[in-house]
Structure 1
Amino acid sequence: MTESRQTMSPDRYYEDYAIGDTRKTTGRTITETDFVVHAGHTGDFFPHHMDAEFAKSTPFGQRIAHGTMTFAIGIGLTASEINPKAFTYGYDRLRFPKPVFIGDTLHTQLTISAKEPDPKRDGFGRVVESCRVINQRGETVLACDHILLVERKPAD
């Protein structure tokens, strides 16, 4: 596995990505304010997220984070590397294997897992980053594949 290319120019073409390259974000601790703000933004006030007494009766014994909040924060942490030669095509295979609780600290690890020429767009390739959002206990709380459309190097 190759270590992250954090020192590279942010202008990375398709050819500059290598399968196995990884990078890890900084951490972020989830707060009750995150729950409240996210519920307000989305309208999702389900008791699993907002009602501490109700949540005591669930198998988790406490409130759990919204999956959409976990996604937004976990993916937002990756925005420390902005490449003007690439843009998001979408996300596949999104899963939440473990719950997130107030007080958990999350970071995201990304690994380049696949590359292929884009079949629809000349001059672009698709790069897949396998994303894992991980808590302080080393548990994966979110897994997905992020598909990037990346410009190919201009022909000489």
Structure 2
Amino acid sequence: MPYSYEPQYFEAFEEGQTFESVGRTVTEADFVLHSAFTGDWTELHTNAEYAADGPFGERIAQGPMTFVLATGFVYRCGFLERRVVAFLGMNYMDIPAPVYAGDTVAAKFEVTETRELSSRDDAGLVVIDSSMTNQDGEEVFAGDMKFLVRRGE
């Protein structure tokens, strides 16, 4: 399966269509940049001594950082490049396992719904089920992402 896809307009998406991302290793810089950007300096994520005595034995990524990694993979794949009008939210999001600095994560995406919208003649709804796993195949993120995607010209 290729890892880089051509951008697609709404009409090209079909239910059951799948996409797969490349892998990416989560770094110390990711932890620091996410904390700096969000202002979330919770010790479980930023204090190695504190986290060592915690439930995971070391620092873990913030849940929102895990989500951000998954959304980054959507755009890195390229199939939505310059086609998204808006990210409309999610029906569900699960973070079943932690992400650690040094983990290598990758994502798979499946189109689960496409829908014409009577309120828009320039775009339609595309719902994409997302699953991100670590290097051991353990799922660390799952959720459906709803996008308003432009129609072809």
Separation (CA, whole Å) in 2 of partners of 1:23 and 1:117: 22
Deviations 1:43-66 (A, max 9, x none): 111110011111122221111101
Please list every run of 5 or more consecutive structure 1 residues that lacks an aligned counterpart in the other structure: none
2:82 matched residue in structure 1 = 84
RCO (CA 8 Å, sep 6+): is it higher in 1 or 2? 2
8 A contact 1:91–1:144 mirrored in 2: no
Separation (CA, whole Å) in 2 of partners of 1:151 and 1:64: 37
Please list every run of 5 or more consecutive structure 2 residues that lacks an aligned counterpart in the other structure: none
Q: Percent identity?
A: 35
Alignment of 1:18-29 (within 5 A): 18-29=14-25
Deviation of 1:25 (Å): 0.8
Separation (CA, whole Å) in 1 of partners of 2:93 and 2:121: 28
Number of positions where the alignment pairs a residue of Structure 1 with one of Structure 2? 150
Deviation of 1:5 (Å): 9.9
Separation (CA, whole Å) in 2 of partners of 1:99 and 1:138: 13
Alignment of 1:1-156 (within 5 A): 9-10=6-7, 12-80=8-76, 81=78, 82-92=80-90, 93-152=92-151
Q: Name the aligned partner's letter for residue 59 of structure 1.
A: P
Q: Name the aligned partner's letter for residue 12 of structure 2.
A: D
Q: Which TM-score applies when normalising by structure 2? A: 0.86
Q: Name the aligned partner's letter for residue 79 of structure 1.
A: Y
Q: Which runs of 4+ in 1 moved over 4 A?
A: 3-7
Deviations 1:30-77 (A, max 9, x none): 111211121111111111001111112222111110112222222112
Describe the shift of the 1:151–1:77 C-alpha distance in structure 2 as closer, same or farther (beyond 3 A): closer
SS in 1 for 2:69: helix
Describe the shift of the 1:133–1:147 C-alpha distance in structure 2 as closer, same or farther (beyond 3 A): same
Separation (CA, whole Å) in 2 of partners of 1:125 and 1:143: 23
Separation (CA, whole Å) in 2 of partners of 1:86 and 1:44: 28
Supply the RMSD in Å over aligned alpha carbons: 2.1
SS in 2 for 1:125: strand
Query: Which structure has the bigger radius of gyration?
Result: 1
Q: Which TM-score applies when normalising by structure 1? A: 0.84
